[in-house]
Amino acid sequence: MDTLARSLADTGLPHPLLVDAARAAIAEGDPEDVEERARRHVHAAARAMLQPVVNTTGVLLHTNLGRAPLAVAADAAFTNLELDLSSGRRGSRHAHAAALLARLCDAEDAIVVNNGASAVLLVLAALATGRGAAVSRGELVEIGGGFRVPEVMEQSGAKLVEVGTTNRTRRADFASAVENPANDTALVLKVHQSNYRIVGFTEHVAVTEMASLDVPVVADIGSGLIDAACPWLNDGPPAWLAGEPAARQTLADGAALVTFSGDKLFGGPQAGIIAGRADLVNQCARHPLARALRPGSLVLSALQQVALAYLRRDGQAIEFWRMASLATADLESRAQVVVSESGVGEVAQMASVPGGGTLPGTEIDSCGVVRDGDHTAALRAGTPPVIARVSDGRTWLDLRTVVPDDDQHVIAALKALG
């Protein structure tokens, strides 16, 4: 087995993994072609590892592909994660990225946790354990990946107070829930429906209306659009953003806290942000769960980079926004080069989507390459893997979600199809 493992050394994987592959090949019991089968096990192990892929799906925030595209290259270094450089004393890991995020959405304070789900969990646990949290029945949603509002509520120890009906909830419904002493309502929660819509005979209560109730309004806006005016884009907010709630405006409308993900429309690393009133953010920061849900310096420094780009109003430095705002004509020129250099497929108009459970039904005009037949498995098998989309029996490669430097990989992958 050891000899077999050593014969696989050229694959570059560490010896213990080669031993596992050798053991698996020998265990198959057939002495024929044992090295070839061992190589297949090595290959499978290498494919299972986290690695860069080329996203030609046109889904900008693709949950299977890590949501927002992010460039992080960090040298080994210590950081002032919890050191106050001016006093030399212990500092707070909430002093860097979180402070910039608060500045960005004009909040008194902010804190960063591991993801959007943990932001909601922490707020409910810190502000409403053993008490009531009132939510419209129309917002008791499942966002995806197992995030169900009633279940998160239960885990937090807060008592769910259901308000209104599935399709219609009014301010008066919230008012009577808050006034009923049996509910002991600590807060009202507004949950953005994110990936689904109720249409027809409907009525929702806006944050501005909820703000005049006697308890704090917590708004889980989900996607992390920072400012509805998009001052980081030269042309202002794109049409496809219409109706998406933004952190800054939701706080200005009277929400005491907003929660959102770092890796959706914010365009940063996986993280959850809680921003708003300083006393409430502080209560969250002091709760024991905050320690369990805190991110490390890699995430905080990536978040800090993105926050600085927003403060500079430099949307081109935020990969998600750079891709989202590419002109279709530029994509078309790139598609022509891909087709002529690979000799495969043809240039075609197509539609990208924001993805990530945001803006359902929204499409962004795009351009790329299409070829008859389903070639997704072959494209995925290359290095780097190229992830494409099939519909109507054709394979679609949308260039909006491809970093321009990766066009060469798309060309090579198409060429390999022959």
Strands (E), 22-87: 54-55, 59-61
For residues 147 and 232, which CB has a smaller minimum distance to ligand PLP in the complex? 147
| Shortest distance, position 40 Cβ to ligand PLP, whole Å | 35
Query: DSSP label at 86?
Result: T
What are the phi and psi torsion angles at 395 (to 5°)? -100, 125
Query: DSSP label at 224?
Result: -
| Shortest distance, position 59 Cβ to ligand PLP, whole Å | 15
For residues 265 and 367, which CB has a smaller minimum distance to ligand PLP in the complex? 265
Query: Closest Cα partner for 225 from 397, 394, 61, 36?
Result: 61
For residues 220 and 406, which CB has a smaller minimum distance to ligand PLP in the complex? 220
Residue with tokens 């002091």: 286
| Shortest distance, position 122 Cβ to ligand PLP, whole Å | 12
For residues 216 and 357, which CB has a smaller minimum distance to ligand PLP in the complex? 357
| Shortest distance, position 217 Cβ to ligand PLP, whole Å | 15
- The alpha carbon of 57 is separated from its chain's Cα centroid by a whole number of angstroms, namely 16
For residues 114 and 342, which CB has a smaller minimum distance to ligand PLP in the complex? 114
| Shortest distance, position 284 Cβ to ligand PLP, whole Å | 16
Q: Whole-angstrom Cα distance, residue 328 to residue 158?
A: 48
Half-sphere exposure of 48 (CA within 13 A, CB side): 8
Which residues of the shown chain bind ligand PLP in the complex (CB under 6 A)? Answer: 115-117, 120, 143, 147, 191-192, 194, 220, 222-223, 261, 272, 357
Name the helix (H) or strand (E) containing 354.
Answer: strand 346-355
Does residue 273 sit in helix, strand or coil? strand
For residues 227 and 341, which CB has a smaller minimum distance to ligand PLP in the complex? 227
Lookup: tokens for 307: 């926050």
Angle (nearest 5°) at CA 223 between 217 and 225: 85
Q: Strands 109-113 and 272-276: what pairing?
A: antiparallel
Q: Whole-angstrom Cα distance, residue 378 to residue 382?
A: 7
| Shortest distance, position 147 Cβ to ligand PLP, whole Å | 5
Q: 34-47 and 15-27 helices cross at what angle (nearest 10)?
A: 130
| Shortest distance, position 143 Cβ to ligand PLP, whole Å | 4
Does residue 248 sit in helix, strand or coil? helix
| Shortest distance, position 221 Cβ to ligand PLP, whole Å | 7
**Helix locations, 325-402, DSSP H:** 328-342, 376-381
- 187 forms beta bridges with 133
Contacts of residue 376, defined as CB under 8 A and 6 or more positions apart, other chains included, come to: 387, 388, 389, 390, 395
For residues 142 and 332, which CB has a smaller minimum distance to ligand PLP in the complex? 142
For residues 266 and 396, which CB has a smaller minimum distance to ligand PLP in the complex? 266
| Shortest distance, position 400 Cβ to ligand PLP, whole Å | 22
For residues 135 and 143, which CB has a smaller minimum distance to ligand PLP in the complex? 143
